[in-house]
Amino acid sequence: MAAQPVSRMLRRVLRSSVRSCSSGAPVTQPHPGEPSQPAVEVPSGRRRFLREHAAPFSAFLTDSLGRHHSYLRISLTEKCNLRCQYCMPEDGVPLTPKADLLTTEEVLTLARLFVKEGVDKIRLTGGEPLVRPDVVDIVAQLHQLEGLRTIGITTNGISLARLLPQLQKAGLSAINISLDTLVPAKFEFIVRRKGFRKVMEGIHKAIELGYSPVKVNCVVMRGLNEDELPDFVALTEGLPLDVRFIEYMPFDGNKWNFRKMVSYKEMLDTLRQQWPELEKLPEEESSTAKAFKIPGFRGRVSFITSMSEHFCGTCNRLRITADGNLKVCLFGNSEVSLRDHLRAGASEEELLSVIGAAVGRKKRQHAGMFSISQMKNRPMILIGG
């Protein structure tokens, strides 16, 4: 393997070949469909004790600002059975040849390594992760990893109703389903394909199988679906949904422009006109979402404010693309190929030094929406949201 830049701290850690991870807290696998957080509140004295006496988090997954990266998103494929306007350029994307994509064994080798270092949540994404034929098997194998508390998936929902019973049995514990409109004809316009009914079936299957909350991701775009916000919120009255309104983000080829973006504040103002009682919920650690609830409603509403109020300060996420590149920031264009190192026969320690160096270079925050919109990055379909 070619010599890699390794920070002094990493060299020290490598020399002593100590793998420092684990929070020290007991780790339990949640049952599929159960929330990943412990149902019982840990008394604050005990929480303080655990924090003070816990082993330090992996140095390789800690950046120069002390952010601990315990959440890994793995893209399983570049392919998708929809063509969402905001995600996929109109002419499609050139797909990476199959031989250059991570194999199942490579996905699992990397997952194992990250979990050993302290990653406790993995989300499978894409492309559309459910088009990968061995997705159930991958979930089952991830479920064997000690220390992995949550296995989530982000899906467009087209094949969900069919696959969810198997995925749940395999150990899938959290689901995000993308749905940007409740109007079937508009659905076809936004995603450039049919399938509204299948997505709704997927949402209802997830509820039926006990996932709670079922997260629904809705990218809000002016002139397209911002008039439907109240209809989405109304769904949370009787259903255990977390409807997440996502600010429209710029990626290569998605024709983003500032006027099409509806900010979190604007969405909130709209909803408060109808529901002045909309109540802010306490922020969860490292959460990207600002959560709200209407008293008496079963579900809740959240906002992903990556553009108007970024949450880089508490970012704990890393991404691996389907072709095996590690991306430390969704909006950064620096990437390192873990696939190439794996295929060159890198040892665990060598891989960790590559990962540690990339994490160490992670910037304090993204460049801001206007700079991002001018910057070269991948289209979202090739990153995995």
Please select the residue that binds ligand SAM; options are 10, 13, 72, 80, rule is CB under 6 A. 80
Structure tokens that stand for 325 in this block: 């590149």
Q: Is residue 158 involved in binding ligand SAM (CB under 6 A)?
A: no
Please select the residue that binds ligand SAM; options are 118, 171, 324, 385, rule is CB under 6 A. 385
5 three-state secondary structure: coil
Per CB under 6 A, which region of 138-146, 154-162, 283-291, 354-362 contacts ligand SAM? Answer: 154-162
Please select the residue that binds ligand SAM; options are 125, 225, 325, 353, rule is CB under 6 A. 125
> Cβ 33 to ligand SAM, closest distance in Å?
19
Structure tokens that stand for 302 in this block: 């959240």
- SS3 letters for 347-373? CHHHHHHHHHHHHHCCCCCCCCHHHHH
Q: Is residue 128 involved in binding ligand SAM (CB under 6 A)?
A: yes
Please select the residue that binds ligand SAM; options are 61, 74, 219, 320, rule is CB under 6 A. 219
Q: Is residue 195 involved in binding ligand SAM (CB under 6 A)?
A: no
Question: Which residues are within 8 A (CB) of 383 and not within 5 positions of it... i.e. 6 or more apart?
Answer: 75, 251, 319, 321, 327, 330, 377
d(CA 93, CA 179): 22
Q: Which of residues 14-33 bind ligand SAM (CB under 6 A)?
A: none
- With beta carbons less than 8 A apart as the criterion, state whether 294 and 236 touch: yes
Q: Give the up-direction half-sphere exposure of residue 293: CA atoms within 13 A in the CB hemisphere.
A: 15
> Cβ 322 to ligand SAM, closest distance in Å?
11
Q: Is residue 156 involved in binding ligand SAM (CB under 6 A)?
A: yes
User: Based on CB atoms, which residue is closest to ligand SAM, 117 or 323?
Assistant: 323
Q: Is residue 305 involved in binding ligand SAM (CB under 6 A)?
A: no
Q: Is residue 152 involved in binding ligand SAM (CB under 6 A)?
A: no
Per CB under 6 A, which region of 150-158, 182-190, 336-344, 353-361 contacts ligand SAM? Answer: 150-158
> Cβ 121 to ligand SAM, closest distance in Å?
16
> Cβ 308 to ligand SAM, closest distance in Å?
13
Q: Is residue 196 involved in binding ligand SAM (CB under 6 A)?
A: no
- The stretches of the chain forming alpha helices (DSSP H) are 8-16, 44-53, 104-116, 135-143, 160-170, 184-191, 196-208, 229-235, 264-274, 338-343, 348-360, 369-374
Going across the sheet that includes 325-327, the strands are 279-280, 289-293, 300-304, 241-247, 214-220, 174-178, 150-155, 121-125, 71-75, 317-320, 325-327, 335-337
Per CB under 6 A, which region of 51-59, 121-129, 143-151, 206-214 contacts ligand SAM? Answer: 121-129
d(CA 14, CA 21): 14
Structure tokens that stand for 14 in this block: 């490598």
User: Based on CB atoms, which residue is closest to ligand SAM, 88 or 342?
Assistant: 88
Q: Is residue 248 involved in binding ligand SAM (CB under 6 A)?
A: yes
Q: Is residue 199 involved in binding ligand SAM (CB under 6 A)?
A: no
Question: Which residues are within 8 A (CB) of 206 and not within 5 positions of it... i.e. 6 or more apart?
Answer: 160, 164, 175, 177, 214
Q: Is residue 220 involved in binding ligand SAM (CB under 6 A)?
A: no
Q: Is residue 114 involved in binding ligand SAM (CB under 6 A)?
A: no
Q: Is residue 178 involved in binding ligand SAM (CB under 6 A)?
A: yes
- SS3 letters for 61-94? CECCCCCECCEEEEECCCCCCCCCCCCCCCCCCC
Per CB under 6 A, which region of 276-284, 328-336, 349-357, 377-385 contacts ligand SAM? Answer: 377-385
d(CA 164, CA 82): 19
Q: Is residue 249 involved in binding ligand SAM (CB under 6 A)?
A: yes
Q: Is residue 202 involved in binding ligand SAM (CB under 6 A)?
A: no
d(CA 289, CA 305): 7
What residue ranges bind ligand SAM (CB under 6 A)? 80, 86-87, 125-126, 128, 154-156, 178, 217, 219, 246, 248-249, 251, 254, 380-381, 384-385
